[in-house]
Amino acid sequence: MMHVSLTGRVVSLAVVLLGCFSLTGCLGNRDWQYPPSSTGVYINSKAAKSISAKVIVLPLEDLRGNAKKDEYWKVSIPLMPYGERKYERPETAENPEEVDVVRFDPPNDFAKAIAAELSQAGVFSSVKYVQDEKQEMADVVLRGSIRATDWDRRLTTWGFGPVGPVFWILGAPMSWTTTTLEMDISLTPANNPNKVLWRQNMIAEGHWTDGIYYNLGEPAKLFPESLQEALKEAVEDLVNIANQNPQQLMPG
């Protein structure tokens, strides 16, 4: 009974606080947005001359796990440093707190972002996202896989259990969020998918601290920011190849 009572007090106060702030729009837009709203622009890297080839970008293969952890209740226990919530597929979380809501479709949204970045970089004369390679004739195909889109948020009451939210009201941080993105992409001739013209493995992390007065809407932006950060090296590498050795990226 003690555990249920303490948990109820913390959760009730948190829900009231978050409800008030969500009504004023402090939680912000939880939908996928690319380019990231923090930059508003694509990667600043452009090929001197485009390779004359038509590229299609396919939805990425989803290799993520399905693990999840929901232990926010632990912050109701005095001396407990934090309660953690983790998702390997944050977009499929059931009944998450509003702060933990992330609306995106990684296999398709990431592929569309990659196509947009390649098009902006001018590496190839034509780049297009398609659902199926049979939809569009192409010279080169970009394929890839997503290995991780981990969401890890640690809520704290600073070890004070049910009275800890008072510190949130006074301006202390409420939680820390870390996102981890892992993926790989490759380019192959459309008529020979076993021949790899170029490949890149990528990993990027995002970190954010929030409180009831600040940054509650920011963690949802970490995934598009991480994707752009992960793609930066890949796009710059392709631009360098296009400028110095374009034959490497031609289907032959």
User: Which pairs with CB-CB distance under 8 Å and at least 24 residues apart come from 188-193?
Assistant: 188/140, 188/141, 188/143, 189/139, 189/140, 189/141, 189/251, 189/252, 190/56, 190/133, 190/137, 190/138, 190/139, 190/140, 190/141, 190/251, 191/251, 192/251, 193/141, 193/143
pLDDT for 237 beyond 50: yes
Q: Residue 89: which CATH number?
A: 3.40.50.10610
Give the alpha-carbon dihedral of 165, 171, 174, 177, to 10 degrees. Answer: 180
124-129 vs 68-70, strand pairing mode? unpaired
pTM of the model: 0.88
Coil, strand or helix at 148: strand
Residue 11 has pLDDT above 80, yes or no: no
Distance of CA 23 to the CA centre of its chain: 25
Spatial contact of 146 and 109, defined as CB atoms under 8 Å apart: no
Cα–Cα distance for residue pair 173/194, rounded to 1 Å: 50
Q: What pLDDT does residue 191 have? A: 93
Least confident span in 27-31, 198-202, 226-230, 241-245: 27-31
Please state, in angstroms and as integers, the Cα–Cα distance from residue 74 to each residue in 80, 98, 154, following that order: 7, 19, 10
Dump pLDDT digits (tens) for 171-222.
Answer: 999 999 999 999 999 999 999 999 999 999 999 999 999 998 888 877 778 9
- Burial zone of 170 (CB within 10 Å; 0-12 exposed, 13-18 middle, 19+ buried): exposed
Q: At what angle do helices 106-121 and 222-244 cross, to 10 degrees?
A: 40
Q: Measured between alpha carbons, how far is 76 from 4 in angstroms, rounded to an integer?
A: 9
**For residue 190, what are the domain limits?**
2-249
Q: Hey, what's the torsion of the CAs at 203, 105, 154, 233, to 10 degrees?
A: 20
Question: Is residue 238 pLDDT above 90, yes or no?
Answer: yes
Contact criterion met (CB below 8 Å) for 230 and 205: no
Q: What was the pLDDT predicted at 95? A: 81
Number of compact structural domains in the chain: 1
Where do the H-state alpha helices sit in 53-177? 106-121, 165-169
pLDDT digit string, tens, across residues 125-147? 999 999 999 889 999 999 999 99
**61-62 vs 140-155, strand pairing mode:** parallel
